[in-house]
């Protein structure tokens, strides 16, 4: 886990908000039409609609979060869903505490 990469990913307010929303997707997003429940995460389109930003900006933000190890993508047909990688988030927090 690269602490600096994670810190950089979380230094953007929108990316930080996305991480907060993904922590409780059912409370922050409408139910999915394509898949049932939030086991695979939230569709990029729903994240884009909530932020009001362009699809390309949200895709870039999610790529940054994925490269930092904070989210996991899952494809369903033409749609990509993102969920938090709780294992990596826990590892990041543990490493951060140990290094401070």
Summarize pLDDT for 42-67 with one digit per residue, the tens: 999 999 999 999 999 999 999 999 99
Expressed as residue numbers, the domain containing 90 is 3-99
CA distance 40 to 21: 14
CATH number at residue 28: 1.10.10.10
Q: Render pLDDT for 76-95 as a digit per residue (tens, 0 to 9).
A: 888 899 999 999 999 999 99
- 94: tokens are 């543990």
Report yes or no on whether pTM surpasses 0.95: no
CA dist 84 and 20 (Å) reads 9
Domain tally for the chain? 1
CA-to-CA separations, 42 to 5, 17, 24, 99, in angstroms, rounded: 23, 14, 10, 32
């Amino acid at each position: 886990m690269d602490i600096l990469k994670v810190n950089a990913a979380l230094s953007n307010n929108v990316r930080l908000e996305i991480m907060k929303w993904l922590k409780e997707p059912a409370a922050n997003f409408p139910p999915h039409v394509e898949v049932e429940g939030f086991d695979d995460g939230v569709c990029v389109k729903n994240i884009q609609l909530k932020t009001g930003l362009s699809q390309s900006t949200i895709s870039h933000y999610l790529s940054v979060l994925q490269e930092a190890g904070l989210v996991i993508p899952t494809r369903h047909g033409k749609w990509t869903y993102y969920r938090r990688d709780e294992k990596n988030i826990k590892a990041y927090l543990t490493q951060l505490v140990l290094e401070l």
